[in-house]
Structures are given as structure tokens and as C-alpha cells.
Amino acid sequence: MAERTPVSIADLVSNLETAAKIARMLSDKYLTLEVGELNTKFNELVNLINGTKIEVLEFQNIISGKNRQIAELESALKFKDKLVCIGDAYFEMDAKGKPTGHANCVKCWENTYKKRKLVVKTDDANVKMCATCGQTYSRAETENIKKKFRLFG
């Protein structure tokens, strides 16, 4: 489906003003208009109102999408300074500078700033993978990182 360029708020206001003018004209002159002319004006009014309603709903969807993007970016900012790439995965760092929690997908973090936990691949216990993007990692490597920090850190 082709993405339609949304109209501006000024266009919406203009449509509503035109609808209001038509409504005033109908209420002021409805007795002097012919039935055909009255029907034409009424249909024009209904079409303007319906078109404006659709455009308002499109704006609502755009705003909701922007709000989701803002929430995702705010969430990513919370982890920006906490996530550090060690070996082949991202880890949160504790107050002592040691990795804590689960290994997170490098691809998802670097491409979309989404923190995605690595899970053991169901058909290969030696491999961890990102359930979101499918990127695979050596299970031994990602699990040994925290052990190395405990031993040498």
C-alpha cells in the first residue's frame, strides 16, 4: 500500500471551517434552496467531515508511531552507557565494571539499539542465538566472558 502524505493541521482546520460554513449556509438558507442544491451541499458537508475524520485518525496513528519511537529511544538511552561489547556479545556492567546479566545480541544493539538476550539454540546446545534476528554466537565464548572477569577482575 502506497504511503499517503498526510495533510497539514492547517488543511484539517480549513476543511472544518468549510464544513462549518456549509452548515451555517444550510441552516440560514435551507428554505430558499432547491432540494437538489440542498442535497448537493449536504453531501459536500458530509464528505468534508468524513475526509477530515480520516485525516485526524491518520495523524493519530502518526503521533502514536512517533511516541513509540521516542519510548524505544529513551529505553535505548538507559542502556547506552551500561552495555559494553565484550568478546562477541554486549553485557551490562555492574558498579565494579564487571559484566552482569545475560549476553545480548551485538547485531540488534548496534543496528536498532534494542537489547536482545541470547538464548541457547534448540538444535545445538553449543550455540547461543538471538531470538529476534537469528544471529548465532559461540555459547562457550559468551558464557566464559563472565567467568574470566570473576577470575581476573
Considering the domain architecture, whether residues 69 and 92 belong to the same structural domain is answered as no
> Is 2 a member of any domain?
no
Domain end, chosen from 64, 79, 94, is at: 79
Domain end, chosen from 32, 61, 79, is at: 79
Considering the domain architecture, whether residues 90 and 72 belong to the same structural domain is answered as no
Whether the predicted pLDDT of 13 surpasses 70: yes
Considering the domain architecture, whether residues 87 and 46 belong to the same structural domain is answered as no
State residue 3's pLDDT score: 54
Q: Which three cell numbers stand for residue 92?
A: 551490562
State residue 82's pLDDT score: 80
Whether the predicted pLDDT of 12 surpasses 80: no
Considering the domain architecture, whether residues 123 and 111 belong to the same structural domain is answered as yes
Share of the chain above pLDDT 70, in %: 85
Residue 114: phi and psi, rounded to 5, are -110, 130
Domain count, the chain: 2
Note the Cα 137 to chain centre separation in Å: 28
Predicted TM-score (pTM) of this structure: 0.52
Please write the tens of the pLDDT for every residue from 93-115. Answer: 888 888 888 889 999 998 988 88
Considering the domain architecture, whether residues 95 and 142 belong to the same structural domain is answered as yes
Considering the domain architecture, whether residues 91 and 29 belong to the same structural domain is answered as no
Q: Which of 118, 109, 114, 115 is nearest to 139 (CA)?
A: 118
CA distance 17 to 10: 10
Residues 6+ apart with CB under 8 A from 91: 83, 84, 99, 100, 101, 103, 104, 145, 146
Please write the tens of the pLDDT for every residue from 49-61. Answer: 888 888 888 888 8
> Is 87 a member of any domain?
yes
List of E strands, 65-106: 83-86, 89-93, 99-104
Q: What is the mean pLDDT of the chain?
A: 80
Considering the domain architecture, whether residues 111 and 72 belong to the same structural domain is answered as no
> Is 119 a member of any domain?
yes
Structural domain containing residue 33: 9-79
- With contact defined as beta carbons under 8 Å apart, do 105 and 90 qualify? yes
State residue 29's pLDDT score: 62
State residue 152's pLDDT score: 47
